[in-house]
Amino acid sequence: MPTLEQRINDCLVPVFHVLESGSDPVLRPSEHADFQVNGVMGLAKRLGVKPREVAERIVNEVDFAGLIETVEIAGPGFLNLTVSERAFVEQLEMIASDEHLGVPNATAPEVVVVDYSAPNVAKEMHVGHLRSTVIGDSLCRMLEFTGNRVIRRNHIGDWGTPFGMLIEHLIDQGEDAAVANLSMGDLDGFYREARTKFDADDVFRDRSRQRVVLLQGGDAETLRLWGILVQESIQYFGAVYQELGITLSEADVVGESSYNDMLDDVVADLDAKGLLVDSDGALCVFPEGFVNRDGEPLPVIVRKSDEGYGYAATDLAAIRDRVSNLSADRLLYVVGSPQAQHFAMCFAVATMAGWLNDQVVAEHVAFGNVLGPDRKMFKTREGGTVKLKVLLDEGSERARAALAERASNDGDRDHIAHQLAMGAIKYADLSTDRQRDYVFDWDRMLAFEGDTGPYLQYAHARICSIFRRGDDLPVGGPIILGEPAERALALQLTGFADAVASALDVLSPAKLCTYLFELAQSFTSFYESCPVLKAPDRTIMASRLTLCRLTASTLQVGLDLLGIEAPEQM
RNA sequence: GCACUCGUAGCUCAACGGACUAGAGCAUCUGACUUCGGAUCAGAGGGUUGGGGGUUCGAAUCCCUCCGAGUGCACCA
């Protein structure tokens, strides 16, 4: 189903193309009207004609098929368009009858592999994993909602030298005791103890090193012990995902170790393509355009001089696997911006190898840091990392306290507090542009005022309460947009599909956040000035109820795309 | 040193090369119906968009340069 904006654009395009083939009307939402056309000036310049003349010609020739009420030429050559009531009503009826609320499926659906979250085995999930997890999950939801096939990949850190000491520590503790420890979620404690012994105890250090050799050599007993660590950690991650409402499941966990068997093939493939260079014993690829401090070419080290493999090899194997075995059209990596160069280089190598090309693309969906109140990396008062679990629990606790202040003795308060807290945390994260750092501030995100998750949830809950309060409510009937606030709400409601599209276009849920906030604002304005249950007559009441219902659905679906729940009461 | 990201109101953030007043939210101030849930709404003040050049009919946006912050730059991930 085309959006209103698309339909209007479709009316303009033929006229623009008569004047210059391929030209774009540059139709945009406007402060001066419902939409404005910005493309006239550029076109006029290229044609060497006065903008106003071009504007007049377009106005005379365009057929808006009843979508547009008035067209005005303004300023140097803008066209200000006012949408007709009939067009709004038609569009709203289409949206209301569509379970996707008018959001069209992608014209060319893709297989998209989204790599996100990626915590480390035997390490606590901390605030540093929050953004990847929350942003990645929202992107998955939006991609699926628009008809793409999404394959989630949780690339957990389950391999490498630290596992020598972790396994030895597991042996020292005894399996049962260790499992009991780990299942309580005290992953950091376990890791710290192992580390302390490793640093202090020579014998333990030697054992750890030998254990790494056994692990890499595929020793069955060592692998069994390793598997315990991995399994316990995955269980724990799952619990955190559940609390936070993340759609990752155990089936999506494909850790670093999963690629071990493919690493030799990666080397062989790159070698066959003549890309490998021996540099001080390491097998490297030197993609163009990357230099080190001294201006010398910078390598991607595929195999280390000790014949071991590093993370670059794993990431290359993952690209190759996702392209050839998963038939991906698109690879997304929701990973912090410090990894930008690493991914740029891996993608460059993968392109040299022919794994990536015009049809199969990889993108690093980079994001900034979560900062503390001091504008530095968010840490605990003691300077340690902030455990995600602790953070989530604190949020629920704070939300519960805030709810208690507002009385209402709901038995469901704990549940609602949890929904509010998760919504607040996620919205605060998602509503800031990915690339920027953002300051984690409980008071702001849970203030329940302004541009926050709870404000959107509140708007939704208020609408639900209208339907709870009224009895014998009229259903159906024509939509009437008599009041300016009704019209403004209608305009906003018709923009949902465009908002989803633009969020996906730049892979930034923040765009959808902005849209939903504006929708909530349009709704509350409408709600103040247009009585629903006390409407002048049943016809207007029915029309307003339809607007309410559609707003509630849009908020609910929109929030769901952000991974945020929309409770009916709060 | 080189590369990437960022710099917009007191604070947190928008703005897809477009318009007469660069928008919101928080905070501040002023109002509003003894409320279809006030966790609200209406309004006010608050800005040489880090500085300086340039391209353009038009620049927060593009280019150059300088300043500031963060990050990365060979066998850790």
Predicted pLDDT of residue A433:
87
Q: Do A225 and A176 sit in the same domain of this protein?
A: yes
pLDDT at A409 over 80: no
Q: What is the dihedral of CA A440, A444, A445, A447, to 10 degrees?
A: 160
Residue A45 is encoded by which pair of tokens? 């310049």
Measure Cα distances from A150 to A3, A143, A147, A258, A438 in Å. Answer: 24, 7, 9, 20, 28
| Closest nucleotide over all strands to A435 (CA to C1') | B5
Give the total residue count for chain A.
570
Among A434, A445, A430, A439, which Cα is nearest to A375's?
A439
Among A105, A69, A83, A95, which Cα is nearest to A27's?
A83
| Closest nucleotide over all strands to A406 (CA to C1') | B39
Interaxial angle between packed helices A130-145 and A220-244, expressed in degrees from 0 to 180 and rounded to the nearest 10: 70
Residue A529 belongs to domain spanning = 402-413+421-433+440-561
Residue A47 is encoded by which pair of tokens? 């044609």
3-class DSSP state of A73: strand
Instruction: Tell whether A322 is covered by a domain.
Output: yes
| Residue, of A519 and A179, whose pLDDT is higher | A519
Query: Which residues of A in 103-142 have their CB below 7 Å from strand B's atoms?
Result: none
- Confidence band of A407 (pLDDT split at 50, 70, 90): low
- pLDDT tens readout for residues A5-37: 999 999 999 999 999 988 899 999 888 889 999
| Residue, of A366 and A406, whose pLDDT is higher | A366
Task: Establish whether the CB of A82 is closer than 7 Å to any nucleic acid atom in strand B.
Answer: no
- Apex CA A357: angle with CA A355 and CA A363, to 5°? 90
- Percent of the residues in chain A that have a pLDDT greater than 70, as a whole number: 99
| Residue, of A295 and A407, whose pLDDT is higher | A295
Instruction: Tell whether A259 is covered by a domain.
Output: yes
Q: Do A185 and A48 sit in the same domain of this protein?
A: no
Q: Where are the alpha helices (DSSP H) in A201-300?
A: 202-217, 220-244, 263-272
Query: Which residues of A in 357-416 have their CB below 7 Å from strand B's atoms?
Result: 368-369, 375, 402-403, 406, 408
**Using an 8 Å Cβ cutoff, are A25 and A16 in contact?**
yes
- pLDDT tens readout for residues A505-531: 999 999 999 999 999 999 999 999 999
- pLDDT tens readout for residues A445-456: 887 788 999 999
CA distance A131 to A510: 12
Instruction: Tell whether A548 is covered by a domain.
Output: yes
Instruction: Tell whether A125 is covered by a domain.
Output: yes
Farthest CA pair distance, chain A: 89
| Residue, of A226 and A448, whose pLDDT is higher | A226
Q: CA-based Rg of chain A, rounded to a whole angstrom?
A: 28
Measure Cα distances from A389 to A240, A318, A393 in Å. Answer: 7, 29, 6
CA distance A24 to A3: 17
Nucleotides on chain B that have an atom closer than 7 A to a protein CB are 1-7, 12-20, 24-27, 33, 36-42, 57-58, 70-77
Q: Do A234 and A355 sit in the same domain of this protein?
A: no
CA distance A273 to A351: 12
Interval A283-309 mean pLDDT: 93
Q: Do A454 and A534 sit in the same domain of this protein?
A: yes
Q: What average pLDDT does the structure give for chain A?
A: 92
3-class DSSP state of A179: helix
| Residue, of A95 and A446, whose pLDDT is higher | A95
pLDDT at A365 over 70: yes
Of the residues A248, A281, A304, the one at which a domain ends: A248
Instruction: Tell whether A25 is covered by a domain.
Output: yes
Partners of A332 in beta bridges: A114, A363
**A56 Cα distance to chain centroid:** 43
CA distance A569 to A460: 9
Among A120, A201, A114, A125, which Cα is nearest to A151's?
A114
Please state which of the ranges A151-155, A224-228, A397-401 shows the lowest mean pLDDT: A397-401
CA distance A322 to A124: 28
Q: Tell me, what's the ipTM?
A: 0.94
Q: Do A227 and A198 sit in the same domain of this protein?
A: yes
A252's CB contacts (< 8 A; 6+ apart) are A152, A153, A154
Of the residues A202, A225, A248, the one at which a domain ends: A248
Query: Which residues of A in 32-61 have their CB below 7 Å from strand B's atoms?
Result: 32-33, 36, 38, 41-42, 45
Instruction: Tell whether A397 is covered by a domain.
Output: no
**Using an 8 Å Cβ cutoff, are A374 and A344 in contact?**
no
Instruction: Tell whether A370 is covered by a domain.
Output: no
CA atom of A371 to C1′ atom of B14, Å: 20
Q: Do A228 and A128 sit in the same domain of this protein?
A: no
Interval A96-123 mean pLDDT: 95
Q: Do A125 and A143 sit in the same domain of this protein?
A: yes
**CATH number (domain holding residue A518):** 1.10.730.10
**CATH number (domain holding residue A311):** 3.40.50.620
Residue A104 carries which DSSP code?
P
Predicted pLDDT of residue A411:
61
Task: Establish whether the CB of A431 is closer than 7 Å to any nucleic acid atom in strand B.
Answer: yes
Q: Do A229 and A198 sit in the same domain of this protein?
A: yes
3-class DSSP state of A152: strand
Instruction: Tell whether A282 is covered by a domain.
Output: yes
- pLDDT tens readout for residues A237-293: 999 999 999 999 999 999 999 999 999 999 999 999 999 999 999 999 999 989 998
Interval A427-441 mean pLDDT: 90
Residue A17 is encoded by which pair of tokens? 């193309």
Residue A113 is encoded by which pair of tokens? 């592999």
Q: Do A284 and A135 sit in the same domain of this protein?
A: yes
Q: Do A232 and A276 sit in the same domain of this protein?
A: no
Task: Establish whether the CB of A436 is closer than 7 Å to any nucleic acid atom in strand B.
Answer: yes
Q: Do A244 and A261 sit in the same domain of this protein?
A: no
CA atom of A203 to C1′ atom of B5, Å: 45
Q: Is A63 left (phi over 0), alpha (psi -120 to 50) or beta?
A: beta
Q: What is the dihedral of CA A8, A9, A12, A18, to 10 degrees?
A: -150
Q: Do A298 and A220 sit in the same domain of this protein?
A: no
What's the domain count of chain A?
A: 4
- pLDDT tens readout for residues A322-341: 999 999 999 999 999 999 99
Of the residues A195, A222, A248, the one at which a domain ends: A248
Interval A196-216 mean pLDDT: 93
On the CB side of A335, CA atoms within 13 Å amount to 22
CA atom of A482 to C1′ atom of B51, Å: 51
- Confidence band of A410 (pLDDT split at 50, 70, 90): low
Predicted pLDDT of residue A22:
86
Asked whether the whole model's pTM tops 0.90, one would answer yes
